[in-house]
Amino acid sequence: MTSDKIWIASFDPGRDNFAFCVEEFDRKELLGVKNIPTAQRYNADGTTTSKMEKILEKVFANGRIVLHKNLDLASNCNRGRTLDPEVFHNMVDALDEYMDYWSKCSAFIIEEQMAFKNKFNKIATKLGQHCYSYFVCKFGRFKEVLTFPAYHKTQVLGAPKVKGKVRWKAMDKPARKKWSVAKAIEILTSRGEMRVLEKLTTARKKDDLADVLTQLQAFKYLVYVDKKLQK
């Protein structure tokens, strides 16, 4: 791996579905992608303009998956409404198994849960913080660990909005999941990553595997092309 090629890990923390992926891409090549003004990026319905689509195609093409997993952290636990403490230990054990990958990563991005009307997924939030703390404890200040709002992937990659009575509205959760899977399939197909594509399309839970991939593409655009999100 050259100095311009880096690895970044993306996580979607969950108890029954703890998904993550690691992607290798050329940082220098991404930094050279010319951006366009904000007003030229999206249509009224949230979808990307043709100019923005060409930029994102360059972002998608610059990368390859080196690790893609979705683990059940509660196979030996009580799956009740409260979080069994054993799940935290299972996460640490699972992450320790992939230390050879983490040691090569420059940064770790962890999905930040979205709140709706002051309601949020408490279990996923706790697991996200535990995942964050794991990497901070392992690597200290030597590697970046960041939380990444879930809405970035739909907004940046151009998920279509729904027309309301007054204005366009964001799609609901089931629609977002379907969109993310379709977008991940599109990205992997364009790259020719057939092995990863087959794993995704045959998985019982496709959306979590898709989310970590689409999240990472949004991160790449915001940090290396838009250059407004600090890593």
How buried is residue 50: exposed, middle or buried, by Cβ count under 10 Å (0-12/13-18/19+)?
exposed
Q: Is the pLDDT of residue 1 over 60?
A: no
Among 118-132, 182-196, 209-223, name the one with the lowest average pLDDT.
Answer: 118-132
5-225 CATH fold: Nucleotidyltransferase; domain 5 (3.30.420)
Strand residues in 77-121 grouped as ranges (E): 105-112
pLDDT at 116: 65
With pLDDT > 90 as the criterion, what percentage of the chain qualifies?
84
Average pLDDT value for residue range 50-67: 98
| 114's tokens | 């979205």
Interval 148-192: pLDDT, tens: 999 999 999 999 999 877 788 888 999 999 999 999 999 999 999
Q: Is the pLDDT of residue 205 over 60?
A: yes
pLDDT at 2: 60
Element (H, E) at 110: strand 105-112
What's the predicted TM-score (pTM) here?
A: 0.94
pLDDT at 171: 87
Where are the domains positioned within the chain? Answer: 5-225
- Tally of CB atoms within 10 A around 114: 14
